Structure 1
Amino acid sequence: MERRAHLVRRALHAALALPRPVKQLVAGPPVRIDGQQLDLDVQLLRRVLTPRRPAPVPAPDRMRAGQAFVDRLVAGPEEPGVRREDRTVPGAAGELPARLYVPDEMLRDGDGLLVYVHGGGFVAGDLDSHDGLCGALAAEAGVRVLSIGYRLAPEHPFPAAVDDCLAAFAHVAARPEEFGAAPGRVAIGGDSAGASLALTVARETSGGPGATPPVFCLAFFPVTRLDGRTRSRELFGDGYFLTTAAIETMARWYVPDEMREDPRLRIAEGDLSGMPATYVATAGFDPLRDEGEDLVARLRAAGVPAVLRRHPDLTHGFATTLGIGTRPRQAVAEAAGALRTALALLPGTATRPS
């Protein structure tokens, strides 16, 4: 598989390097939906990766293998100036893999830490699939990033992932110095399913006795409901990488029927007033777009400082496609800037001497 991925990656990047008119010819006519136009490089990737005929959702192991193959194709180069340290952190039922990213250029206003939860539909993804993204966030924001693994469905259904993330975050928040961070400067973030888990941790630890909540939450294209009939799901549920069929299948693998009403699965409902300041990035061509934007509206209504940044020309999963054109990297850099600013503005921040 490694050799095949290498060959396909070379062919894909050769196509991405073509002059724009030739690239447009290969990609086809511009894609315009809902007042938005798909980025040309992303459109070319869509042309390469989208099957001509709808295919059934594969079994979990095959899905993971397929996603790992795609991850190799779209990943950018390893981030320079970022040191990596493999660690472990306690989960709810044992040690979890973790990876600490330490940039050469640290944030001048203090040592912050972002605990990052990878996406993958609660079924796939790992530290390696999000290595490029975490390295980019560390470099762009000038903060340490601790990427954590967690138990995956269907082998470990809900609430295993939630319990693991809560346990891991509690450990880090109680001992930030072990990871080179200052007390009271630990944020949380994630993408897709990982954003859902990060938001759940933020909500479950906010306002509760004895819990230490994150000081900031960074969420790329979060999933906030197991089912839904939003306009974005209707518009983009087929042909834009993440499909309605995949969403529904992974939800069945993740949550047993008898637990579907658990309030921990309803991130946008209930009392959100204790949530930390939150930055949500959505993609215009994403079936999850509308639920992420609805979450921001609900956070604001609850008095929570919440920023929404829609990237109208991108698709679901853009944060890990840093080898595809320039737009995904720009979007990640914007999010990293929000994280950097949020940590720099925390009360009690003292500027270090030059």
Structure 2
Amino acid sequence: MNGLPIFKQDPRLHIKKLQFDGVPVKQYQPREDHTKHQRGILFFHGGIGIWCSTGKDRNTYERVCRYLARESASFVVSVLYRLAPEHPYPAQFEDCLKATIHLLKNAKEYGVDPDCIVISGDSSGATLVAAVCQELVKRTDLPKVRAQILLHPFLQAVDFNLPSYQQNAFNPVISKRMLLEIGLKYRRKYSVQAAMKGSHVPEDMRIKWKTWINPDHIPKRFKSRGYKPAPPTPFRPKVLEQSNEFFDTTFSPLLAEDDIISQLPETYILTCEYDVVRDDGLLYKKRLEDAGVGVTWEHLEDAFHGVVIVLDIPVFPFSCAKRKMDRIVKFIKGLHVSGEISLAGGVKAFTKGGGL
């Protein structure tokens, strides 16, 4: 983290550190005078719960938050949640939920339209977004979240042999083994080898979840780079004792019941072709659409997991990073703010290489 650049103040933004109900956050707000409330965007960073949030000006996602605030003319809050291994799961979820509730309750004090608050996140931050949104549908004392933005989300710890896990198993950015081994620090101790084979899932649970987590639901074109159904593996009860938290919906939001899924807000999902968790996003997209939730989906054929963190870095000239951010901004600007007409709604799909 010491190698990351130190960011200077941006003349176009008010940037300051705050506490939301005891949770440290960083605020990014356009300097222009506003005669009406702005959209509010909460951003949960990635890093598998152990990286990317120093609380200093070296934050890995600094460029992303500044870009969102400037380009969408929105009030952006980056939540600097506690990190593992010092603070194991579910500390990260608890901090994100607490910060979100604070903004929902106090939106007008920050010049934010309480009816246009968006929760967004990247990678494991997108996992937290999905989990927080699912928790909030149970609350009747708070304004409803306007939308959720899930950028290549990790959403289930049941099947690590989906096509995207097989095709991108040795991806240098984040490999299958890397994802699982780093999870040791985030989720305490469990058997990596058992999880890779799938022997941590009891047969009755496997049958139940097959409705939602099934390679048959992955469109054929996403299997073109290779896929072989994994052979069945015997269940090992001892492994379940080590990994039963895998099946909490705060860690595996794809396992939420239908009555929760159907109440979720309008959703933007971005998936990348060269990404082990690509198929998690595809499966969640299907669940949301089946439940009647409006979904805007984009798939980048030339992108990899975490590409957003190289935004505007000259030595990493990946055009897909800016394309990705521009799509997100377009979605956000289409969301209704008091006094405006919404351009969003319905089920939409944007892909560089064509729709599903």
Same fold, judged at TM 0.5 (above)? yes
Listed as ranges, the matches of 1:166-185 within 5 Å are: 166-185=97-116
Structure 1, 207-216 or 291-300: larger mean CA deviation: 207-216
Residue deviations 1:135-175, cap 9 Å, x none? 01111211110111111112211111111111111011000
State the alpha-carbon separation in 2 of the partners of residues 226 and 178 from structure 1: 39
Identify the match of residue 172 of structure 2 among 221, 237, 240. 240
* 8 A contact 1:207–1:274 mirrored in 2: no
Task: Note the residue ranges of structure 1 that are not aligned, 5 or more in a row.
Answer: 1-64
Listed as ranges, the matches of 1:299-314 within 5 Å are: 299-314=288-303
3-state SS, counterpart of residue 185 of structure 1: strand
3-state SS, counterpart of residue 253 of structure 2: coil
Structure 2 equivalent of residue 9 of structure 1: none
Letter in 1 for 2:167: L
Listed as ranges, the matches of 1:271-282 within 5 Å are: 271=258, 272-282=261-271
Q: TM-score, normalised by structure 1?
A: 0.72
Structure 1, 103-112 or 262-271: larger mean CA deviation: 103-112
* 8 A contact 2:23–2:98 mirrored in 1: no
Structure 2 equivalent of residue 202 of structure 1: 133
Letter in 1 for 2:179: I
Does residue 339 (structure 1) correspond to residue 332 (structure 2)? The answer is: yes
Structure 2 equivalent of residue 23 of structure 1: none
Structure 1 equivalent of residue 65 of structure 2: 134
The Cα shift of 1:217 comes to 0.6
Does residue 265 (structure 1) correspond to residue 242 (structure 2)? The answer is: no
State the alpha-carbon separation in 1 of the partners of residues 320 and 290 from structure 2: 31
Structure 2 equivalent of residue 253 of structure 1: 185
Identify the match of residue 103 of structure 1 among 30, 45, 65. 30
Letter in 2 for 1:185: C
* 8 A contact 1:85–1:100 mirrored in 2: yes
State the alpha-carbon separation in 1 of the partners of residues 36 and 297 from structure 2: 25
The Cα shift of 1:315 comes to 0.6
* 8 A contact 1:130–1:320 mirrored in 2: yes
Letter in 2 for 1:202: C
Structure 1, 130-139 or 178-187: larger mean CA deviation: 178-187
State the alpha-carbon separation in 1 of the partners of residues 17 and 8 from structure 2: 19
State the alpha-carbon separation in 2 of the partners of residues 185 and 281 from structure 1: 21
* 8 A contact 1:110–1:349 mirrored in 2: no
The Cα shift of 1:301 comes to 0.6
Q: Which has the higher helix share?
A: 1
**What root-mean-square deviation, in Å, do the aligned CA atoms of Structure 1 and Structure 2 show?**
2.4
* 8 A contact 1:286–1:316 mirrored in 2: yes
The Cα shift of 1:78 comes to 7.8
3-state SS, counterpart of residue 339 of structure 2: coil
Structure 2 CA distance for partners of 1:156 and 1:313, relative to 1, 3 Å? same
Structure 2 CA distance for partners of 1:79 and 1:303, relative to 1, 3 Å? farther
Structure 2 equivalent of residue 330 of structure 1: 323
State the alpha-carbon separation in 2 of the partners of residues 108 and 219 from structure 1: 30
Does residue 164 (structure 1) correspond to residue 95 (structure 2)? The answer is: yes
The Cα shift of 1:106 comes to 7.6
Listed as ranges, the matches of 1:195-234 within 5 Å are: 195-227=126-158, 228-234=160-166
3-state SS, counterpart of residue 313 of structure 1: strand
* 8 A contact 1:107–1:141 mirrored in 2: no
State the alpha-carbon separation in 1 of the partners of residues 267 and 71 from structure 2: 18
* 8 A contact 1:140–1:337 mirrored in 2: no
* 8 A contact 1:78–1:132 mirrored in 2: no
State the alpha-carbon separation in 1 of the partners of residues 92 and 15 from structure 2: 24
State the alpha-carbon separation in 1 of the partners of residues 291 and 61 from structure 2: 32
The Cα shift of 1:79 comes to 6.1
Identity of matched residues, % = 23
Identify the match of residue 285 of structure 1 among 238, 254, 274. 274
Structure 2 CA distance for partners of 1:108 and 1:330, relative to 1, 3 Å? farther
Structure 2 CA distance for partners of 1:238 and 1:276, relative to 1, 3 Å? same
Aligned positions, number? 275
Identify the match of residue 115 of structure 1 among 25, 42, 45. 42
The Cα shift of 1:212 comes to 3.8
Structure 2 CA distance for partners of 1:78 and 1:304, relative to 1, 3 Å? farther
Task: Note the residue ranges of structure 2 that are not aligned, 5 or more in a row.
Answer: 189-241, 342-356
Listed as ranges, the matches of 1:70-85 within 5 Å are: 72=5, 81-85=12-16
* 8 A contact 2:300–2:320 mirrored in 1: no
State the alpha-carbon separation in 2 of the partners of residues 246 and 179 from structure 1: 40
Q: TM-score, normalised by structure 2?
A: 0.71
State the alpha-carbon separation in 1 of the partners of residues 254 and 7 from structure 2: 33
Structure 2 CA distance for partners of 1:343 and 1:85, relative to 1, 3 Å? farther
Structure 1, 103-112 or 162-171: larger mean CA deviation: 103-112
Letter in 2 for 1:264: T
Residue deviations 1:215-244, cap 9 Å, x none? 111111111023521111111121330111
State the alpha-carbon separation in 2 of the partners of residues 163 and 112 from structure 1: 23
The Cα shift of 1:80 comes to 5.9
* 8 A contact 1:283–1:315 mirrored in 2: yes
Structure 1, 165-174 or 121-130: larger mean CA deviation: 121-130
